[in-house]
Structure 1
Amino acid sequence: MTSTPTMAAPVQPPVQGPSVLSRVVQAPLFGSMAAIIVAIIVFSILSPRFLTLGNFSLILQQSVVIGILAVAQTLIILTAGIDLSIGAIAVLGTVVLAQAGGAVGPAMGLLITLLVCVALGAVNGALVTGLRLPPFIVTLGAFTAIVAGTRLFAGSQTFAVSDPILTFLGTTFNIGSFTSTYGVVVMLLVYLVIGYALTQTAWGKHVYAVGGNPVAAKLSGVKTDRTIFSVYLVAGVIAMIAAWAALGRIPNADPNAYQNANLETITAVVIGGTSLFGGRGGVTGTLIGTLIVGVLRNGLTLAGVDNLYQNIATGVLVVAAVAVDQFMRRQTSR
């Protein structure tokens, strides 16, 4: 009896994983890093003054206030919200700090400013979580009210600040040939602390979960309202730090200052790769986004480009960043 020969199973070709280049290109921060590298190269060619330690120090110092506020904006956007009032809260903070610091001393002034900024953040958070109002509407209304309230409180006047504690964050120091300020140090510390909280604590995981899928987060036991409310409280604390840094940067409390701060923080966050739909991104990208905006404005200024054209370039960059975010979301959802 002859046996029937068995057919050998066809050999399947090994499945090729994504190449190293593909993984690099798909990395979350690839676009932001590529953008800042290209910007540095272009502006170095356009202006010989761009690629100097003094100019890089200037870019960092000019980015401090927006960079700090952008951390607060990142937290709120990660929960799928948005805050149009964060800049106005910081401006009110500068006026309160200047007046309270002069009246009751710098330490009490800082404490009073902290309480004011946190209280305003708490109001925003309570309206969003308690009344279920859209964050856009809540913070737009808060922005309008706070801007008007700040001008009424200040009598539309600018207050000069000379106390060394209130202007401390503007104090310079040298690291070799590089000049920096304590405001830059504080900005980086804020990024480190919030970055650690987002990636290494249960609170940070809850923030991402709430922004990514609030229904699933709630079913998993996450107290979504408490998490969102806490984010607005932290944003208030960060706004107070930004107010202190602003007085270090320019020792005048001007109720009309930083009128575009809200939009600039959103710009930095979006360019840094944080999704406007929540749940994806982080403060590392926001820091890079802040520096991209700083490099863009500084480079265009050195190149002699009018400020209006700088705003156009920044706006185009924001739209491009959102378009890339949408494309990436569609690719990952397939």
Structure 2
Amino acid sequence: MNSFKDKLPPMGTLGPLIALVLACVFFASQSDRFLSTQNFSLILAQVMVVGVIAIGQTLIILTAGIDLSCGMVMALGGIVMTKFAVDYGLSTPVAMACGLAVTTLFGYLNGVLVTRIKLPPFIVTLGTLNIAFAITQLYSGSQTVTDIPAGMNWLGNTFSLGGATVSYGVVMMLGLYLFTWFALRETPAGRHVYAVGNSPEATRLTGIPTEKVLLGVYVLAGLCYGLAAMLGVARTGAGDPNAGQTENLDAITAVVLGGTSLFGGRGVILGTLVGALIVGVFRNGLTLMGVSSVYQILVTGILVILAVATDQLSRKGAR
């Protein structure tokens, strides 16, 4: 007979949710404003850009890779979208499609360098981070793009739900998480991503084209960065060349806190959403408490180290 403990979800899945609940309980005891519906709406709005970037980052980390370029590629996509609309007069859908194409192309470039030339993902994406940053600054002239078409702000518009104000961008983020969860769980392609992360050589010997799986993962990640760029432009109402400089670390933090192993092959995409919310809750709660942003960064760093240490210990225990 299975015990109650055996029926519980694995700690890698349950742990992040417990941490989120405990964080909410703590900050609720410190500030009366924390539990308001409007504050929770604000937290969701603050994490939606990083949350979508983290979807792509999760796919890559599941294959035992990492992408340091995600934030700057997202910023480049936002600049391309806004400048194509403002400077060249392209319609909103066409301008956004151009931005998505650029970020997807960067994902393809990362994937080719990793799969065909066999370069380490860390080195490849460190290089493309700097390339994307330079192109963004040169193309924008280091100037923010303003006066964008109203259509580019649509995802930043809000509607009322149970007394809370929710943006359409948040709905889009949640929909992307549900779609990715279903794809990873229920489709052969999703199972191949986990297989490559667990053992690329064993996966190759079963007949699965591991290089195509990896290339597809990097391309999809690039597409996610473009979607995040759309959300960033909608939220700020401008194309900011200085955006994306911390989003890469924030996205990796969300993935690790969500229980995805940096060694690949293990993780749940919905855990990444919980991880992003943990970061958002901590920053929001500490702000309500009047804590300096420096300490917020300190707490985030400690959380990442604890999450990685937990993952390492659990791997050793499983051997």
TM surpasses 0.5: yes
1:201 to 153, 167, 187: 187
Contact 2:82/2:148 (8 A) holds in 1: no
Shift of 1:25: 7.3
Letter in 1 for 2:311: D
Which deviates the most, 43-52 or 101-110?
101-110
Shift of 1:238: 0.8
Structure 2: gaps spanning 5 or more residues? none
* TM-score, normalised via structure 1 length: 0.93
Counterpart in the other structure of 2:33: 49
Tell me how many residue pairs correspond in the alignment.
Answer: 317
Which deviates the most, 171-180 or 58-67?
171-180
* Large movers: runs of 4+ above 4 Å: none
Letter in 2 for 1:280: R
Shift of 1:21: 3.9
Contact 2:256/2:275 (8 A) holds in 1: yes
1:282 to 260, 264, 268: 268
Letter in 1 for 2:309: A
Structure 1: gaps spanning 5 or more residues? 1-15
Which deviates the most, 103-112 or 75-84?
103-112
Contact 1:87/1:239 (8 A) holds in 2: yes
User: What secondary structure does 1:29 align onto?
Assistant: helix
Counterpart in the other structure of 2:222: 236
Counterpart CA distance in 2 for 1:126 and 1:314 is: 33
1:128 to 101, 114, 122: 114
| Percentage of identical aligned residues | 46
Counterpart in the other structure of 2:15: 31
Say if 1:26 and 1:203 are closer, same or farther in 2 by CA, change over 3 A: closer
Counterpart CA distance in 2 for 1:246 and 1:95 is: 11
User: What secondary structure does 2:195 align onto?
Assistant: helix
1:98-145 superposed Cα distances (whole Å, 9 cap, x missing partner): 011222121210111121111111100000001000000000000011
Contact 2:53/2:228 (8 A) holds in 1: yes
Counterpart CA distance in 1 for 2:189 and 2:5 is: 34
Contact 1:69/1:239 (8 A) holds in 2: yes
1:71 to 11, 30, 55: 55
- Give the alignment of 1:71-220 within 5 angstroms: 71-102=55-86, 103=88, 104-220=90-206
Structure with greater proportional helix content: 2
User: What secondary structure does 2:295 align onto?
Assistant: helix
Letter in 1 for 2:109: V
Counterpart CA distance in 2 for 1:283 and 1:48 is: 32
1:297 aligns with 2:317: no
Shift of 1:161: 4.0
Shift of 1:192: 1.2
Counterpart CA distance in 1 for 2:149 and 2:317 is: 54
Counterpart CA distance in 2 for 1:106 and 1:272 is: 34
1:221-276 superposed Cα distances (whole Å, 9 cap, x missing partner): 11000000000110111111100000111012111113110000000000000000
Contact 1:101/1:107 (8 A) holds in 2: no
Shift of 1:282: 2.0
Shift of 1:41: 0.6
Counterpart in the other structure of 2:250: 264
Counterpart in the other structure of 1:12: none
User: What secondary structure does 2:11 align onto?
Assistant: coil
Counterpart CA distance in 2 for 1:96 and 1:226 is: 28
* TM-score, normalised via structure 2 length: 0.97
Counterpart CA distance in 2 for 1:77 and 1:97 is: 28
Contact 2:169/2:231 (8 A) holds in 1: yes
Contact 1:158/1:252 (8 A) holds in 2: yes
Letter in 2 for 1:83: D
Larger radius of gyration: 1
Counterpart CA distance in 2 for 1:161 and 1:194 is: 34
Counterpart CA distance in 2 for 1:212 and 1:164 is: 45
Letter in 1 for 2:115: T
Letter in 2 for 1:99: K
